[in-house]
Amino acid sequence: MTETAAGVAGSARAYDSVAAPNVRIPMRDGVELAADVYLPALDGRAVEGRFPALLERTPYLKDSVRFARRGHWYARRGYAVVMNDVRGRGRSDGVWYPFAREAPDGYDAVEWTAAQPWSNGRVGTMGSSYAGSDQSALATLNPPHLCAQVVGQGTSNYLVSSMRQGGALEQRFIRYAFWMALTSREAREDRDLEAVLRDEYARIGSILGPPLRFRPGRTALRLLPGYEQWVWDILTRGSQGEYWSQRGYRIDAYWAEHADVPVLFQSGWYDTYPRGAAANFTALRRLKSSPMTLLLGHWRHGETTAEESSAGDLELGLEAALPSYDDLRLRFFDQHLKGLAAGLEREPAVRYFVMGGQRGRRPGDLEGRVWHGGRWAQADAWPPPDAVPVTLYLHADGSLRERPPAGAAQPTRYTYDPRDPVPTAGGSISAAEDVLPSGGFDQRGQPGRFLGHRDTLPLASRPDVLSFETAPFSEPFEIVGPVEVALHAASSAVDTDFTAKLLDVFPHTAETPGGFELNLADSILRARYRQGFEREVLLEPGQVSQFRIVLYPTANRFAPGHRLRVDVSSSNYPRFDANPNTGEPLGAARRLEVAQQTVYHDAEHPSCVTVLVRAAAALGRGEGGA
C-alpha cells in the first residue's frame, strides 16, 4: 500500500502479472464464453492466494491491447481480473444480439468469477459504454457475490435516451452495426466477407441518406442476419412494450431489484449517456443503502476522453481532464473491495464540471480550439439542491425572456422538407466519430467535416430554423442540470418531429471573430409519442399540441456579453432519422411529404425553455430582444 495525494491508503504496484488466455465460462443455457484471466504474479508465476476480482464484459474483443494492458495494470495492484468477450463476440460462443442476454450472462460470469480458487468471493465490475450498460443489466438480477461497480457511460433506458430518443432513431447505431460487423467472428473467418463489409462501411454516409436507405436484404449486413435483424428491430420499434422492457435495454424498470452495492456512475455533457447516468444514480440512491456516486465531466464518449481537456472545438482548461481514469477506479475498488481507507465516505456524492466563464488554467497552445474554460463543482444530490428553475419564454420577435408573452401574437411558420434536413454539427453522440463527430462546435456549415453540410453559413440562417435568444448577460449566468423545452406547435402533417438545441452565443472578440455559436445540449420529439411511449397518437393537422422536449443535462457558465439561445426546428440529421411526415409505421415509409410547421408563442400558448440556475450565481438577466 502507499499514501495517495489525499493522505489515504491505496494499492500500489506490488506484483508482476500473468495471463491465462481463453478460459471458458459456462452459461446457464450451455453456451461457453471466453475470458482472459490476469493474476498477480512473482517470478513469472501466479501468486497463491485469493484476491478481490474485477470483471469487465465487452463486445470489443478482449484480445485487444487496451484490455490486456488494463488487466495487467490491476493485477499488479493485487486484483484478479477477468476480461470477458460477451456472447457471440470475440472468442465466445453463441449469437450476438446486442444487450439482450447481458443480464443473465453477466450474472453467471460474476458468480463463476467468485467461485474460482484465485478469488476471495468479492467481485467488482467495470467498463464503459456497452460495458457500462451491461453492468447495470446484470445488477438488476442481484448476483450474490457482486460487491461494487464503476459504470462508465451507461444508460438507464435505451428507448428513452440512447438507441432511440424522443421517439426518433439515433442513426449512429446503424453505423455501429456495420462497424461491429467488421470485427465479427464471421468476418474474421471469411476474408471475402470482410472485404464486402469494409466496402459497404465506406458507403455508410450514403446509406444514412437522406433519406435513410436501410431495408432488410438490401445492404451487405444481410450477410450477418443477426446484426441486420437488430438494426431493423430498433428502427421499427418505437413504442414501449416487451422488446424495450428487456433487462438489457431498460434498467429503470428494475431499479427495485438492482443489487444494493456501491456504484460510481460516470458520464459527460458531450457523451450520449448523462441522462442515463443521472437517472440511475438518483433512483438507486433513493432505493438503496449503499453509497452511490455521480461524476459528470465535459467529456465525449469513450474512456480516453475523460483524460482530455477538450470536446470538439472547445477547450475547457488543464484542470478539466482526469489525471487517470484507472486511478479513479482503483481508489473506488480499494475502498469497496479491499476495505482500504480511501476516504470516499468524506466526499460529496456528486462531482461535476461547469463549462465556461473562461475560468481555469488555459493551455499554452489551443490547437485551433476556442477557449471556454471551466471549473469542478460538487453537490450532495443531483441536480444540485441550490439550483432553482428559471423559465425563459419564446417571443414573436425572436427574444427569450423571463417575462411571458402578453396577449395575442402571430405564430412563426416554417417548412420542413425531409429531403433537406438541418444537418448535425456535433452534440452528445457516441460510437460514430468518423461519421458524426461529437462535442462542442460552432453551429455553422463545415463541408467536408460534417455529413450534409453544403456551405459555411450559420445553421440558424436556414428558413427552417427558428432562433430565440436572450439579451447579452451583464453578469455571469450559470446553469446546471436538466433542460426542457415546452413547445406549443401545430403541423400540416399527421406525424412530424420538433427539435430543440440550447446554445451559448459568444460575442465578436479577437479570440472569436464574428462570434461563436456553441451547442450545449439538444433533443427531439416525434409527434406520435408526444403523449408518451406506451402508444402512438397521430396529429390532427392544424391542431395545436404541446411538445415537451427533454434535452441532455449540462452545466455551463455564460460569461458577460454572452447570450443563451434556443434553436427550434424539425430535424437534426443524420444524428436522428428524418421524419417522412406521412404517419406510416416506423421504417416502412416509401413516401416523403413536406410539412408546414407552426410554432406558437403568445399568452395562450407560452412556449418556453426551463433551465436550472445556481442560486449563488449572479444572474444579470436582460430583457432585451434578439
pLDDT per residue as tens digits for the range 151-163: 999 999 999 999 9
pLDDT higher than 90, residue 625:
no
Q: In the structure, what pLDDT confidence band is assigned to residue 214 with cuts at 50, 70 and 90? A: very high
Report the pLDDT value the prediction gives residue 9, as an integer from 0 to 100. Answer: 56
Residue 49, CB-side half-sphere exposure with 13 Å CA sphere:
13
Closest-CA residue to 54 (of 116, 101, 123, 141): 123
CA dihedral 514, 392, 425, 210 (to 10 degrees): -130
Report the pLDDT value the prediction gives residue 7, as an integer from 0 to 100. Answer: 42
pLDDT per residue as tens digits for the range 294-339: 999 999 999 999 999 999 999 999 999 999 999 999 999 999 999 9
pLDDT higher than 50, residue 6:
no
- What residues does each domain of the chain span? 2-152+256-379, 162-241, 387-614
- The whole-angstrom separation of Cα 153 and Cα 9 is 28
Report the pLDDT value the prediction gives residue 616, as an integer from 0 to 100. Answer: 53
DSSP tag of 578: P
CATH of domain 2-152+256-379: 3.40.50.1820
pLDDT per residue as tens digits for the range 364-398: 999 999 999 999 999 999 999 999 999 999 999 99
- The whole-angstrom separation of Cα 114 and Cα 394 is 57
Instruction: Give me the percent of the chain exceeding a pLDDT of 70.
Output: 97
The residue to which cell 467468485 is assigned? 114
Report the pLDDT value the prediction gives residue 622, as an integer from 0 to 100. Answer: 40
Least confident segment among 71-75, 91-95, 437-441, 620-624: 620-624
Tell me which H or E stretch contains 334: helix 325-336
- The whole-angstrom separation of Cα 280 and Cα 295 is 12
Tell me which H or E stretch contains 26: strand 16-26
Distances (CA, A) of 265 to 34, 65, 133, 448: 27, 25, 11, 36
Whole-number mean pLDDT of the chain?
A: 95
Q: Is the C-alpha dihedral spanning 144, 111, 71, 12 positive or negative?
A: positive
Q: What does pTM read for this prediction?
A: 0.95
Report the pLDDT value the prediction gives residue 422, as an integer from 0 to 100. Answer: 98
Classify residue 620 as left (phi > 0), alpha (psi -120 to 50) or beta: left
- The whole-angstrom separation of Cα 529 and Cα 518 is 29
Report the pLDDT value the prediction gives residue 621, as an integer from 0 to 100. Answer: 45
pLDDT higher than 50, residue 89:
yes
- The whole-angstrom separation of Cα 476 and Cα 354 is 12
Report the pLDDT value the prediction gives residue 2, as an integer from 0 to 100. Answer: 41
Count of CB atoms within 10 A of residue 19's CB?
17
CA dihedral 510, 515, 516, 521 (to 10 degrees): 130
Return the bridge partners of 516, or none. Answer: 506
DSSP tag of 589: -
Residue 587, CB-side half-sphere exposure with 13 Å CA sphere:
15
- The whole-angstrom separation of Cα 394 and Cα 406 is 11
pLDDT per residue as tens digits for the range 96-111: 999 999 999 999 999 9
pLDDT higher than 50, residue 77:
yes
Q: What is the rounded average pLDDT of the residues 583-601?
A: 96
Report the pLDDT value the prediction gives residue 431, as an integer from 0 to 100. Answer: 75
pLDDT higher than 60, residue 611:
yes
pLDDT per residue as tens digits for the range 149-203: 999 999 999 999 999 999 999 999 999 999 999 999 999 999 999 999 999 999 9
The residue to which cell 455521480 is assigned? 294
**8 Å CB contact between 127 and 82:** no
Count of CB atoms within 10 A of residue 385's CB?
10
CATH of domain 387-614: 2.60.120.260
Report the pLDDT value the prediction gives residue 209, as an integer from 0 to 100. Answer: 87
Return the bridge partners of 599, or none. Answer: 412, 489
- The whole-angstrom separation of Cα 79 and Cα 48 is 13
**8 Å CB contact between 541 and 493:** yes
Q: What is the rounded average pLDDT of the residues 30-40?
A: 98
Q: What is the 3-class SS of 519-548, one letter each residue? A: EEEEEEEEHHHCCCCCCCCCCCCCCCEEEE
Distances (CA, A) of 500 to 563, 569, 571: 16, 7, 9
